[in-house]
Amino acid sequence: MPWTSFRYSLYAPFYDLLAWPLGAARRRAVAQAAIGPRDHVLIVGCGTGLDLAHIPPGCRVTATDLSVRMLGSMRRRARALGREVALHRLDAERLVFPGGAEEEGFDVVLVHLIAAVVPDGAACVGEAARVLKTGGTLSLFDIFRSGAHERPGLLLRTLNVPARIFFSDINRRAEDLTRGLPLTLLQDQPVAFGGLFRALAYRKHA
């Protein structure tokens, strides 16, 4: 089992407690995506399903995660909320869904607190953009380093060593993960911890 999957399987029983301080930020990120009442929404790296309560009830929801325990938690949350969710055990860097040009493309893709966790954040965001319909919305919410410098300073690089092992990569920039993709930035707002966490919304163009 990949380390990322194993780590989050261990976190699953108390993940909601760990994620509690980011509850308001998560709500803002979902709201910023402006999900329509009949949209087909994909949640990449759904975890325990904390996004689900903020998605309009008429939506069709598909969710993925690599951790079986996280998917089990998501299933229980969906049942408690009276929601139907199609669950898939998938690597966020290799989604199996058709490209967004297909009829099956998603109207909205939520990539929340996963792009800085997976080994290759650019591959994760690239896959999210691929399965998004043209004109659809990509919501990216995570811990992102700001600033124009391509390379972080020595302190950040040092701190990132244990952070990547136990939590997430604190040196990733949203700009790097979306470079070259057919995405237009609509909104970018700091949502938690003095701007350490950001919520960005993109529109996919042809």
Domains annotated on the chain, with CATH: 3-204 (3.40.50.150)
Say what the pLDDT of residue 13 is.
Answer: 79
pLDDT tens, 35-75?
Answer: 999 999 999 999 999 999 999 999 999 999 999 999 999 99
| Tens digit of each residue's pLDDT (9 = 90 or more) over 78-135 | 999 999 999 999 999 999 998 876 667 999 999 999 999 999 999 999 999 999 999 9
- What is the per-residue pLDDT across 155-169, written as a single tens digit (0 to 9) for each? 454 544 444 555 666
Q: Which residues contact 105 (CB under 8 A, 6 or more apart)?
A: 97, 98, 99, 131, 132, 133, 134, 136
Res 182: pLDDT: 97
* Measured distance CA(106)–CA(39) in Å, rounded: 8
- pLDDT number for residue 161: 41
DSSP secondary structure string, 98-160? PPTTSTT-EEEEEEES-TTTSS-HHHHHHHHHHTEEEEEEEEEEEE---SS-SS--HHHHHHH
Tokens of 140: 């990216």
